[in-house]
Amino acid sequence: MLRDTVDDELRASGQRLLAAVAEHNALGLAAAHIGEVLPIVAVGDGTAPVRILYNPRITGTAAEIAKGDEGSVSLPGIRVEVERPVWVDVVYMDEGGRPVSERLTGVLGRVAIHEIEQMQGIFFLDRVSRLKRDMALRKARKLPG
């Protein structure tokens, strides 16, 4: 799934992903949210512009864990407390295809883990207990829309 470079297809998808983040007022999204199976995620923390990470990989995480509220545009109105490492090391490519290695912390780190896992087919509800997951799904079915 990861690519050796960033080509025009990935850059165009990155722009569509940024537009979707703005439309949904999200902190992050994976390309799957816009119907594309590409190695791209958008990540932000609500204080700085959202960034596109091309071909992202998690290369390390903190041993220290923190709880935080998470949701998904796939389940609007549903928020669940999820335990995540307090920082994550990621390797990705920028828009020009240059490699970047970075440690992301706080909300930005949480969003990066959430979206990179989503890109890999791991939904955030897979990271909570069965009871929490079932409660969230029941609540989602009861919401209008």
pLDDT digits (tens, 9 = 90+) for 6-63: 999 999 999 999 999 999 999 999 999 999 999 999 999 999 999 999 999 999 999 9
CA separation for the pair 31, 17 (Å, rounded) = 6
- pTM beyond 0.75: the answer is yes
pLDDT at 70 exceeding the cut of 90: yes
Q: State the pLDDT confidence band at 145, using cuts at 50, 70 and 90.
A: low
CATH 3.90.45.10 fits 8-142, yes or no: yes
CA separation for the pair 113, 68 (Å, rounded) = 12
Cβ atoms of 78 and 71 closer than 8 Å = yes
Of 36, 102, 115, 117, catalytic: 115
Where in the chain are the domains? 8-142
pLDDT at 135 exceeding the cut of 90: yes
Q: How far is CA 50 from the centre of its chain?
A: 11
Q: Cβ contacts of residue 27 below 8 Å, gap of 6+?
A: 21, 43, 44, 45, 46, 50, 107, 111
Q: What is the pLDDT of residues 102-129, one digit of tens each?
A: 999 999 999 999 999 999 999 999 999 9
Question: Would you call 81 a catalytic residue per the annotation?
Answer: no
